[in-house]
Amino acid sequence: MQRFSSSAGARAVGSDTTGELASPTGVHAAPRRQVRCGRFTLDLSRPRIMGIVNVTPDSFSDGGRHLAPDAAIAHARRLIDEGADILDIGGESTRPGAEPVPLEEELARLLPLIEALRDSGVPLSIDTFKPAVMRAAIEAGADMINDIYGFRQPGAIEAVAGSDCGLCVMHMQGEPRTMQQAPAYADVAGEVGAFLREQAQRLEAAGVDPGRICLDPGFGFGKTTAHNYDLLRSLPTIGALGYPLLIGVSRKTMIGAVTGRPVGERLAGSIAAALAAVARGAAIVRVHDVAATVDALKVWQAVQVGDA
């Protein structure tokens, strides 16, 4: 199956759902069927897979495995071969309790990968919340900025507004060092949805085309296991905002809490959660295990639309 096609000078590389929150225009909206990502237009007529490339010594799942540039580049190319539609490259761990990484160190981890992979044929997303890293990554050829702070840091919106890269707005209660100490909500889906709507509005007010925006409820970022599963059940409500949903549940604690499995044994649970998210409107799933998720989504797609 072809993953890319030409579209208005950009290559097209998969969105669906309605719910209860009002969109920024005050009406319920079906999410857009594509998202603009720099040099690419990501076609969301079917679910898409974002492969995770952690260039860190301390990420919760694969910290240290791909810290050396050559190892990270080889891993990224393997994910593309397995069927990743987009890569998400991170140079700073944001696991619970993680300590900040100096700017220069994060750039030293990220920039060689952007340079090596920018002609790989898939969009490159950079997972960062530092405006200076955002600017440098965009200049180096990044196609999306994936920000766990949802572009709340001073200067973040200004760093990305004038570009044409895709923007993923994520929700996080607190910050990585303390976010899991005592997360609390009166209405987790309502509060997360309201935050995401507000940040999307702020981006649009700064001149960002809404076709560049996608939303991530932030599973595991300042949420208990119960909060995470409430959010997963409530994805259609957040999808009613009208933006594509990008979901990251791969290997997370919420999977281990239900299955009793350690991080390295959460493949089956992660795939089940990814399929549950797609069934509730997720357009993009962010995963460690690309090949297995590709197979699972092919079967899901065959059942849903007869695409066999």
The pLDDT value recorded for residue 66 is: 59
> pLDDT band at 12, cuts 50/70/90?
low
Question: What is the total residue count of the chain?
Answer: 308
Q: Per-residue pLDDT for 248 more than 50?
A: yes
CA distance 63 to 288: 12
DSSP-derived secondary structure letter, 162: T
Domain boundaries, the chain: 5-305
DSSP-derived secondary structure letter, 71: H
The pLDDT value recorded for residue 64 is: 54
Q: 5-305 falls under which CATH superfamily? A: Dihydropteroate synthase-like (3.20.20.20)
Which of the following is catalytic: 3, 95, 130, 286? 286
196-220 per-position pLDDT tens digit: 999 999 999 999 999 999 999 999 9
Q: Could you tell me the two tokens for 207? A: 């001149």
CA 223 to chain centre: 17
Query: Could you count the other beta carbons within 10 Å of the beta carbon of residue 125?
Result: 30
* Residues in CB range of 129: below 8 A, 6 or more apart: 147, 148, 149, 153, 156
CA distance 252 to 221: 10
Question: 89: part of which helix (H) or strand (E)?
Answer: strand 86-90
Say whether 252 is catalytic: yes
CA-CA-CA-CA torsion sign (228, 233, 237, 238): positive
Mean pLDDT computed over 41-53: 96
Which of the following is catalytic: 46, 212, 223, 252? 252
149-177 per-position pLDDT tens digit: 999 999 999 999 999 999 999 999 988 77
Say whether 280 is catalytic: no
256-307 per-position pLDDT tens digit: 999 999 999 999 999 999 999 999 999 999 999 999 999 999 999 999 987 6
Say if residues 135 and 110 touch (Cβ distance below 8 Å): no
* Residues in CB range of 36: below 8 A, 6 or more apart: 10, 42, 164, 166, 209, 211, 212
Type of residue at 37: C
CA distance 307 to 94: 37
CA distance 299 to 293: 10
